Structure 1
Amino acid sequence: MNDGPGRAPLLRARALHKTYGTTHAVQGVDFRLMPESYVTLLGPSGCGKTSILRMIGGFEDVSSGMLELEGQPLNKVPAARRPINTVFQSYALFPHLSVAENVAFGLAYRDLGREAQRARVEQALAVVRMQDFAARRPRQLSGGQQQRVALARAIVNEPRLLLLDEPLSALDRRMRKDMQIELKDLQRRLGVTFLHVTHDQEEAFALSDWIVVMNRGQVEQQGAPQDIYRRPRSAYVADFIGGSNVIPGRITARQGEEARIETALGPVVAAAEESLRAGDAAALCVRPEQFGQAAGSAFEAVVTHVVFAGSGWHVELRAGQQELAAQFTEPPETGAALRLGFDPARVWIARAGEAVA
């Protein structure tokens, strides 16, 4: 992340490892969280993102490597003494306590008088717009309201860092969209750094200032959302974060920021990941919306499936042995042969790699 002049990271992970028996869940991870930022750990199940979150929260020991909070070692600090709170996927609310009592539970180990505690609880509930529900029990609340109570219980301690472990996964699609807006707004109003774990790329893009893409316990790429979307470093990232068509090939020439790649669709000259050199295996990344019907210098593909997708039509095609996906405003006939093309200035050449399972 771009630190900016005179800015120091709030939290830094250096060569972070976590093993469970013979399983190496986290393998040499490095990243920084800047103050007042919204950062997402993004990746599929089993990629190590929740293990990282639990090590930061103090719920798991660090196998090797270092965590530092504001420049001070964090590894040996007990969870209860870290200025860090966690919002869990299950919300973990106590069913026999009221909303206000659930929030107050977060202050159980703070040396506060009754009036000071009450004021803190009222303030936290007001921040998440739940002050009118203070006397209710969790079972009397919707999923979104329970999520807000869990957030209030986490922020009542005024943490320096808030960890969110798949906090929206139990909500329906509409409620997730609404809560994304509320989470981003809450983070901005509080000025607290949020570290959010998710497998949902749309959620990550909607919320984040910075995204860390995980793959098999390692950082595959990290950066601002727009940079990761436009310039994925690998075929894995291109596929995972946006469903790109990943067309394998080999680099035959490199000049400046561009490279020439030979693919099943023919040769293409386009902007390329900086480490690629002539002879390297690579992947041409073309997003479905970048394909268009063309004449002249193009390639032929046969339509195999057509699905209505609301704002347009999702079309699957086959060009020789290469399967492709495109988005059209008008549906072609299944079985039709089309000539397709794309603007080389809009596509990207990434490192070769595995597809997302």
Structure 2
Amino acid sequence: MAVAAKTAAGRRTRPLLEVIALHKSYGSVQAVRGIDLSLANESYVTLLGPSGCGKTTLLRMVGGFEAIGSGTLMLDGMRLDDLPANRRPINTVFQSYALFPHLSVLENVAFGLSYRAVPKDRIKARAREALATVRMEAMADRRPRQLSGGQQQRVALARAIVNEPRLLLLDEPLSALDRRMRKDMQIELKDLQRRLGMTFLHVTHDQEEAFALSDRIVVMRDGRIEQQGAPGDIYTRPATAYVADFIGGASCLPGRILGPAGKGYAIETALGRHVVPGVAGLSVGARAVLCLRSEQVALGDTGTPAEVTHAVYRGADWLLECVAGGQLFQVAHAGPPPAPGETVRLSFDPDRVWIAREAA
């Protein structure tokens, strides 16, 4: 008992997954460039980035579906580098669900157990338990073609968790669903992860999905990690102009750092000098960007003159596009919108905006 308790305590304190200096190339194309990453036990981590940034390649290397170029993969302190996919305590939910059309829902979930050391009299029982976990036990006798997209996704999840993996990989699992169903499944995925106490590593290009699900977000660009952290930190404290723009489409006003000032930095921009908080390590004379999100910019009687170019109704408010000093700004505006071509004044609270590096 003491040994078992010590082992369990060790698992809780050390990272579940460690990715160390991982590289992968396809000919002259470097898909993954020196990734260092660790996943805590019972966490929900999302790899977020545009198509071609390396996130799916990284996921496939962790799952054993792609050989690594160089580097190290560790799970629970065990090297995974040369371990085949079927011997890793990892399961994957694919974008296409990959259900067998000729098998029932129950048979699809039970299929993988038949290749493991599971007593025959326990296979169906465990498959039913997995279906109950994703609230699909009533559909056990149906065929995949008789299910909606969301129901097929739940079956794919049941088939993955029935094997009790240490790590569950999800490769764009919600991309085939409509908007309403995606939102419903986001809630169910996060609830499932919490109930199981399992670690999920999820790949998506959808920022809203990443924020809804994740304890931690890893933003990738060109095969590298651009920034990683809690969703709130990624949104309010982007490290670079790329992250600021990719996460929520911030307006990035170029400038130069004049030096430390107060709790942040003084930055000189085309719209004047501002003192605001910023990412650590900015030096005098360095090029940087002042990041302003639409909800941080307001119309008022004072401020920078700007011309309204577009107004888009979003239901709860209007999104205005305004140009000032040759720079495009987006403004979330609750009242009746000014007409395109009208001159307005823009202002912001310097404590709410952020200075990021111009480039990584």
Deviation of the 1:108 alpha carbon: 2.8
Aligned counterpart, 1:313: 318
Letter in 2 for 1:41: L
Report the 3-state secondary structure (helix = DSSP H, G, I; strand = E; otherwise coil) of the residue aligned with 1:242. Answer: coil
Report the 3-state secondary structure (helix = DSSP H, G, I; strand = E; otherwise coil) of the residue aligned with 2:60. Answer: helix
Deviation of the 1:291 alpha carbon: 1.0
Aligned counterpart, 2:253: 247
- 4+ residue segments displaced more than 4 Å: none
Aligned counterpart, 1:339: 345
Normalised by the length of structure 2, the TM-score is: 0.95
Aligned counterpart, 2:25: 19
| 2:228 is the counterpart of 1:222 | yes
Deviation of the 1:294 alpha carbon: 2.6
Aligned counterpart, 1:111: 117
Aligned-pair identity (%)? 64
| 2:196 is the counterpart of 1:170 | no
**Among 15, 23, 32, which residue is 1:9 paired with?**
15
Contact 2:261–2:275 (8 Å) recurs in 1: no
Alignment of 1:1-357 (within 5 A): 7-255=13-261, 257-296=263-302, 298-330=303-335, 331-353=337-359
Contact 1:290–1:346 (8 Å) recurs in 2: yes
Structure 2 gap ranges (5+): 1-9
Deviation of the 1:115 alpha carbon: 1.5
Deviation of the 1:290 alpha carbon: 1.0
Contact 1:257–1:274 (8 Å) recurs in 2: no
Mean Cα displacement is larger for which, 26-35 or 325-334? 325-334
Letter in 1 for 2:131: L
Deviation of the 1:113 alpha carbon: 2.4
CA RMSD of aligned residues (A): 1.4
Aligned length: 350
Contact 2:11–2:76 (8 Å) recurs in 1: no
Deviation of the 1:295 alpha carbon: 3.1
Q: Deviations over 1:118-151 (max 9, x none)?
A: 1110000000000000111111000000000000
**Within 2, Cα distance between the matches of 1:117 and 1:200?**
36
Report the 3-state secondary structure (helix = DSSP H, G, I; strand = E; otherwise coil) of the residue aligned with 2:127. Answer: helix
**Within 1, Cα distance between the matches of 2:262 and 2:224?**
29
Contact 1:42–1:213 (8 Å) recurs in 2: yes
Q: Deviations over 1:141-182 (max 9, x none)?
A: 000000000000000100000000000000011000000000
Contact 1:285–1:350 (8 Å) recurs in 2: yes
**Within 2, Cα distance between the matches of 1:255 and 1:318?**
28
Contact 2:11–2:41 (8 Å) recurs in 1: no
**Within 2, Cα distance between the matches of 1:311 and 1:153?**
40
Deviation of the 1:324 alpha carbon: 1.1
Contact 2:264–2:278 (8 Å) recurs in 1: yes
